[in-house]
Amino acid sequence: MTTLFHIADMHFGAEDRTLVDAFTEVCNEKAPDLVVAAGDFTQAGRKREFDDAARFLAALDAPVVGIPGNHDVPVRALHRRFTTPWRRYERSIGRYLEPSHQDEGLHVESLRTARRAQWQPDWSLGRIGQPSLGRALDTLAQGDAAFRVLTCHHPILAPGGNRGRARTARAGKSVDTIAAHCDLVLTGHLHETFTLPARAPDHTCWFVGAGTTFSRRTRGEPAGFNALEIGEDAIAITHYVAHPERAEFHAGESWKLPRNG
């Protein structure tokens, strides 16, 4: 059995500090095999926000696969946004993150969907680059792990379809290809927890979203994270939710997702 913690949208700069400490405590106590962090470590890409994120990551005992989100590009320093958009991310927290992870049973690859700018008014939306997606899926296909995971910040499948904040460019055209190569896709951005299936010829690929882990920007869903236990036949997910009055997380709703059904 492999255990993953799925977190997203930490938004340092708008975080609940007590929940940061609570998550660190529960993560180190339960000792997952891997933490997957699906982007938006900061609120506005400021250096002090990245420094806080770095201290958080350094305190975790488990390895972390991470990918930046749209909030991890400098918001106010436009010259940095256009010339060196990922420099603060890489210098501050890059040392604590792995772009991929592979062991005997598990292979995780990441896909960057955030952009420094786009030819549309809403730069927060995601975009799938076909060359980048192809490289990630080819790497997964070349491995021999029994369970294959892709993570990116923006949703590829989302409740209600790819509309509004879930309007990730090229997502709809990529679902079948991704499902054929992956068993699980972990995303963030919407601050919403969900599980959606996509059938491949010989298995089911599950697309799973996470809410914000400890940001005050909850968008109607309490802060929380997903704990996934990966078995041979199913993925068991427990959604941990922040207590409304105490600085702690407690187990909430759970799902059992069949891998072959």
Residue 154 lies in domain:
2-258
Strand partners, 97: none
Closest CA to 38 of 188, 157, 171, 155: 188
Q: Which tokens is 88 given?
A: 């603060």
What are the pLDDT tens digits along the chain (261 aa)? 799 999 999 999 999 999 999 999 999 999 999 999 999 999 998 999 999 999 999 999 999 999 999 989 877 655 565 666 678 898 999 999 999 999 889 999 999 998 766 667 766 788 999 999 999 999 999 988 899 999 999 999 999 888 888 899 899 999 999 999 999 999 999 999 999 999 998 899 999 999 999 988 887 899 999 999 999 899 999 999 998 777 889 999 999 999 886
Amino acid symbol at 55:
R
Global confidence as pTM: 0.95
Sheet with 106-110, edge to edge strand ranges: 100-102, 106-110, 147-151, 184-187, 204-209, 194-199
CA distance 18 to 214: 9
Number of domains in the chain: 1
Here the CATH number for the domain that contains residue 165 is: 3.60.21.10
H-assigned helices in the chain: 17-30, 47-58, 78-83, 87-92, 130-142, 171-181
